Amino acid sequence: MATATDLTTRVLIALTAAVWAMVLFVAYAVLSVPTASVDESAAKVCDPRRPDEEQCPDGQWCVHGQCTPHEEPQVAQRGEVCRDCPCDVGLQCGADLRCRPRNEPEPPAPTCGDPAVEAAVSRLTQACLQRRTSVQDRVESGEGCSADEWRALLADDDEMNSLLAAFPDRLAVYFPSGEPRARQPWPDASTRAHIVGELASHAKALREAKMLFVIGRSSPDGSPTDDHALALRRINAVERLIDQALGRDKPSERGQGPMLIGWGAPSDRPVALEAFVRNYAGTQTPIATTREGSERLAAAFAAVRAGEPVPNRRSLERDVNRVVLVIPVPCAGTKEKP
């Protein structure tokens, strides 16, 4: 009898031990998941000064010190609008912002009489009229917003930037990383002469514009505050270079020219390469600090438009976010209808 009791006891002990082993195994498995998550999160920390491909997984880039997914845009088919997404293989985004076969001739560049330009001007005007907040604008039946109100529209209205892409004379001035630095002169004499000369070739469009949007961007290399300050310094630099290109000795002489609206875009929303080439690069030659730099960017943009592989793609994506966009609006808006 004692032997049977001992055997039963040993079986119970073995079963209990097995149950506890299973409990411990399940607990280990559950507790190990957060640890893996922490390790994975730690691996996503990155240094914006280093190339993205050296430290971030495929499909991600470094944004404010964290590897962040780089969302792929949807693909547009033939006849579909390609303002915010690339065209399918074999198609290109035409001047009318619709996908068309590559062998189809491009329509002529839009002008003030072009329906797309007129529609963009009309939308800008209506957005302005809805935004006006100053007492003077309410009392007077003026047709425009103040520069501050235009800046507020650029910050609040997601449609604004895409509307500005309708204007054919838009320019882009590209900056080296971190330039211009705070309280330091930029650029040097030879770089200044080169950029001023490039801007001067567009003097007619700049001088005759009804409004001149100057939008500064910075790649997400530092804190959002530092990035924004850098974008503003770039705007100020380009405004001074435009003054020189137009033969103005000082900013106070801008009064006879178009309203100048400068705005620094937030760096936490960097522009993807295809979207930049489609909406902002335009048909004008890129203005970099050297002629070789301009030629390199132009060749890369041509490859993007043709759907061909682009060398050093991630570096190029940072280049297009180290830029000031200069957008002359050639047409006057309409007054608010009674």
> Domain with 231 in it: what CATH number?
3.30.1330.60
Sequence-separated (6 or more) residues with CB below 8 Å from residue 155: 263
Residue 319 located in a structural domain: yes
Helix (H) / strand (E) element for 232: namely helix 224-245
What confidence score (pLDDT) does residue 179 get? Answer: 93
Q: Which is more confidently placed, 273 or 95? A: 273
Across the range 24-49, mean pLDDT stands at 58
Q: What is the mean pLDDT of residues 58-83?
A: 75
Residue at 85 is within a domain: no
Residue 30 lies in a domain: no
- Cα 220 to its chain centre, rounded Å, is 10
How far is Cα 117 from Cα 97, in angstroms, rounded to an integer?
12
4 within a domain of the structure (yes/no): no
CB-side neighbour CA atoms (13 Å) of 237: 30
* pLDDT at residue number 191: 95
Distance in angstroms (rounded) separating the CA atoms of residues 170 and 87: 22
* Mean pLDDT for all residues in the chain: 76
- The residue with greater pLDDT, 222 or 289, is 289
End-to-end CA, the chain? 108
How far, in Å, CA of 146 to CA of 99, rounded? 36
83 occurs within a structural domain: no
220: Cβ–Cβ under 8 A, 6 or more apart, which residues? 48, 62, 63, 64, 227, 267, 268, 270, 321
CB-CB contact of 201 with 242 (8 Å): no
Count of domains in the chain? 1
User: Tell me, what's the pLDDT at 33?
Assistant: 46
Is 80 exceeded by the pLDDT of residue 215? yes
The verdict on residue 193 lying in a domain is: yes
CB atoms within 10 A of CB 104: 11
Is 43 a member of any domain? no
How far, in Å, CA of 53 to CA of 50, rounded? Answer: 9
Q: What is the mean pLDDT of residues 15-24?
A: 67
Domain that holds residue 211: 91-329
In whole angstroms, give the CA distance from residue 44 to residue 179: 27
Cα–Cα distance measured from residue 258 to residue 206, given in angstroms and rounded to the nearest whole number:
8
* CB 255, CB 283: distance < 8 Å: no
Confidence of residue 27 (pLDDT cuts 50, 70, 90): low
Check residue 185 and report its DSSP letter: -
What predicted TM-score, i.e. pTM, was given to this entire model?
0.67
81 part of a folded domain: no
